[in-house]
Amino acid sequence: AQRVTQPEKLLSVFKGAPVELKCNYSYSGSPELFWYVQYSRQRLQLLLRHISRESIKGFTADLNKGETSFHLKKPFAQEEDSAMYYCALTGAGRRALTFGSGTRLQVQP
C-alpha cells in the first residue's frame, strides 16, 4: 500500500525565514511525487512535480529515495505563501494520486 505522511499540521514562520514542509512516503516501487497547494478561496492546484525538477514561486523539492522523503523548501518565505500544502504520490498504474493530510503554512509579517 502507498502512503504519504506530512507530520506537521501547522507550520508558522516569519516573513523572510526559510521554510521546509516535510513529506515522507511509503511505496515499494518507483513513485512520482507532487506538491499541491490551496490558497485561501482558491482551488487546489499543482505547485510542482519531482519529475520536472523545477522551481515554482521559489519552492523546490528533492526526492530522496533513501529517506523516502520529498520535502518542500523555500529559502525566504513570503506572506503570499500562506496556504495549505499537500504532498501527493502516484505509484503503479499512475492512475490516481494519494495525498497526505496536508500542512498549513502561515507566514507572519
Partner 1 sequence: DAGITQSPRYKITETGRQVTLMCHQTWSHSYMFWYRQDLGHGLRLIYYSAAADITDKGEVPDGYVVSRSKTENFPLTLESATRSQTSVYFCASSPGLAGSNTGELFFGEGSRLTVL
Give the footprint of partner 1 on this chain (CB under 8 A): 6, 9, 32, 36, 43-46, 51, 86, 90, 93-102
17 vs 61: CA distance, rounded Å: 17
Residue with smaller CB distance to partner 1, 96 or 109: 96
C-alpha cell at 24: 515522507
Least CB distance to partner 1 at residue 71 (A): 17
Nearest to 61 by CA among 94, 95, 86, 28: 86
Least CB distance to partner 1 at residue 15 (A): 27
Least CB distance to partner 1 at residue 94 (A): 4
Residue with smaller CB distance to partner 1, 19 or 102: 102
Helix (H, G, I), strand (E, B) or coil at 25: strand
DSSP state of 83: E
Q: Which residue has the cell 507572519?
A: 108
Least CB distance to partner 1 at residue 20 (A): 19
DSSP state of 17: S
Residue with smaller CB distance to partner 1, 57 or 78: 57
